[in-house]
Amino acid sequence: MTTIPSQNFTVSYNPKGLCRIVGFACLAGFLVDLVVLLFPLSLGNVEWRIGVLQQLGDRSVVLLLGLALTMYGILDTRGWRRRLALFCLSLGVIFCLSSVLVIRDSLAYQQQVMQAIAKQSSDIQSQIQKAQTDPKAAPNVTAEQLEQASRVLSGRTEAAKQTTKTGVLKSSISSVGNLLVVGLALIGLGRYGARPPKF
């Protein structure tokens, strides 16, 4: 009786190939998100720009991960590595500069909201004053009630302004932080890919 010796079959996997697959998947997912996020295009609208840049900052970690994995996967291919490094450098600069746009748009948006709150408050205040001067305009409302309504309106106006300032400040700090961190990381990734490999 003869026995067949057992052979060990080893399959070697290339980790760079796996990194390329995951990297391309991350990049494709980010591009799909970006297309959905940009539709419908409304560049002139401050609220739209703030929303897009905030979402872009929130999702940019997927882009960074995808580019880093892709960079690792193509380190041996000099031409592609240098192209990707230049792309990362350019994208990093764009991310850093877009944080300035977030600050500018946030200040403009805050000013718009403050003006809208002030106008609404002024309109209601003028109606209260009209009712105070002309008792026939609101016959069932006493002067004390009108005075109390005026005080409540002033308090709510200040609270709305403070809430707006706080909300816009938190949102802009979060967006600027995300865009700057990812932008600087992309610049670092680009510089890493641009330098010659060590043997």
pLDDT tens-digit readout, 32-87: 999 999 988 888 899 999 999 999 999 999 999 999 999 999 888 888 899 999 99
Measured distance CA(117)–CA(164) in Å, rounded: 10
Query: Within the chain, what is the greatest distance between any pair of CA atoms?
Result: 118
The predicted model scores a pTM of: 0.79
Distance CA 42, CA 49 (A): 8
Reference 67, options 197, 198, 187, 175; nearest CA is 187
Q: Are 102 and 175 in contact (CB under 8 A)?
A: yes
Model confidence over 107-119: pLDDT tens digits?
Answer: 999 999 999 888 9
User: Cβ of 60: how many Cβ atoms within 10 Å?
Assistant: 20
